[in-house]
Amino acid sequence: MYDVIIIGGGPGGYVVSIRLSKLGKNVVLIEKNELGGTCTNVGCIPTKALLNASHLYSEMNDKGKRFGVTAEELSYDVGKVMKHSKKAVTLSRKGIEHLLNENNVEIIEGTAEIVDKGKIRIKENGAFVEGQNLILAQGSNPANFPPFENVEGIMTSDDVFSMEKFPESILIIGGGYIGVEFATFFSSFGVKVNLVEVLDQILSTEDKDVAEDIKKSLKRKGVKVLEKTEVTTVEKENGTFTSTIKNKEKDEQQELETESVLLAVGRKPAITEDIKALGVEIDKGVITDDHMCTNIENVYAIGDIKAKYMLAHTAMHEGIVTAENIAGIDTKMDYSAIPSVIFSNPEVASVGLREKDVEKEKIKVSKFPISATGKARTMEERIGFAKVISDEEDDTVLGLTIVSPNATEMIMEGVIAVRNKLTTLQLMESIHPHPTLTETVLGALEKANDREIHI
């Protein structure tokens, strides 16, 4: 009998296993595919490896000559680009396996079928595993629905990593962060990309000015961005996809021919019949309280299966909160400062409140362009900004949005500020190094305090 059974070895499952083991618990982790889950195998890690390769290529293509750095004949090799991505995946997965072994986590390779909250059956060999606590960390899968699910050859993000050649043209359905990251990747390598989003703007969870800047940068790479547009049918004939796209505003319809189609319309939590039969409360995903407990005693849920934030760092932190609660340390999950990161070019990162989500009278919005910083000039980067949202009355930082190269690294300043309720003055008085892109955030903080220098 184990203290804890964990189903799923993604960022949620492997982190909770290690933390529980360090807290003295006897744990077993059941994984049906590869350790590391979506993030390591077909998500965060391989996409960022691909994007690093495409970024290098497009920087050389775009800036090389102007900066005086040229290669005789700049080219790329799809096989090697993919190999680079696979290497990053393998190294990350081996690292996770090593950490789990070092921490004496027992790993079972197989599909867990929940018999009851204390008993799991391994589908492949019929063996039973028993435990006192159960953690649901089964993650999510790419969403796929009519009219797309029955068309042969439409890719989801899972399929991109096994591509042997790039298409000449691609239709990406869905302008969320996954669609935008793949649009950035393919267009950097010269693929003709059509990015179609049914909502009013791409990156719909972010403010309009963010979407506008990213649209501008994608257009510069030759991407055709179609917002308020629905893909109503897709057909494949002689290796070519013909899609009907309909502009919802103008009620116009047109046909689009592309060599590939990538469906990036979100992810669905992996809620199987045995999870439903367990009796846990479910809305879009499995519901928990802030201690990560479901409505059933000793059953917890973390990560994408909850369909809440669907980010690896959220899954990991929920894992840590769960482990501590199981070990008797009263810990609550704090969702107030979860950074969102998009690896477009420039990158987007945000935390806390967005401008669109708050009443204008209660907040102060202070924005500063990256083009006014020395560092951006050294990089010849002009698109982007930092936007600080603060409380009109007490100056607390309520949110930070950054569009900039390295925004995903720069956002930590905002995470710390929002989480710890720091004021814009406190941040502004913290010296920002020069010349760095963090001076964009400084500029916005100075503006919040009516103390602008560089604008």
- Which residues lie near ligand FAD (CB under 6 A)? 7-13, 30-33, 37-39, 43-44, 47, 111-112, 137-140, 157, 178, 270, 303-304, 310-313, 315, 341
Q: Specify the DSSP class assigned to residue 435.
A: T
Considering beta carbons, is residue 109 or 452 the nearer one to ligand FAD?
109
Return the CA Rg of the chain. Answer: 23
What CA–CA distances, in Å, run from 297 to 132, 301, 334, 395?
10, 12, 21, 42
Contact by Cβ (8 Å): 217, 345: yes
Classify 232 as helix, strand or coil: strand
Considering beta carbons, is residue 48 or 419 the nearer one to ligand FAD?
48
Residue among 55, 291, 434, 454 flagged as catalytic: 434
Closest CA to 302 of 108, 143, 115, 139: 139
Tokens 């790479």 found at? 221
Considering beta carbons, is residue 7 or 444 the nearer one to ligand FAD?
7
| Catalytic residue status for 84 | no
Considering beta carbons, is residue 304 or 381 the nearer one to ligand FAD?
304
Q: How far is the CB of 340 from ligand FAD (least distance, A)?
A: 9
Per DSSP, helices labelled H in 23-77 are 37-42, 44-67
Q: How far is the CB of 164 from ligand FAD (least distance, A)?
A: 19
Task: Report how far residue 324's alpha carbon sits from residue 332's, in angstroms, rounded to the nearest whole number.
Answer: 9
Considering beta carbons, is residue 225 or 349 the nearer one to ligand FAD?
349
Q: How far is the CB of 51 from ligand FAD (least distance, A)?
A: 9
Q: Which residues contact 335 (CB under 8 A, 6 or more apart)?
A: 308, 309, 314
Q: How far is the CB of 303 from ligand FAD (least distance, A)?
A: 2
Q: How far is the CB of 96 from ligand FAD (least distance, A)?
A: 11
The sign of the torsion formed by the CA atoms of 317, 319, 323, 328 equals positive
Task: Report how far residue 117's alpha carbon sits from residue 355's, in angstroms, rounded to the nearest whole number.
Answer: 43
Q: Are strands 267-269 and 140-142 parallel, antiparallel or unpaired?
A: antiparallel
Task: Report how far residue 302's alpha carbon sits from residue 135's, in angstroms, rounded to the nearest whole number.
Answer: 7
Q: Specify the DSSP class assigned to residue 299.
A: E
Considering beta carbons, is residue 196 or 307 the nearer one to ligand FAD?
307
Q: How far is the CB of 159 from ligand FAD (least distance, A)?
A: 11
What CA–CA distances, in Å, run from 444 to 256, 370, 382, 449?
42, 10, 16, 9
> Active-site positions?
434
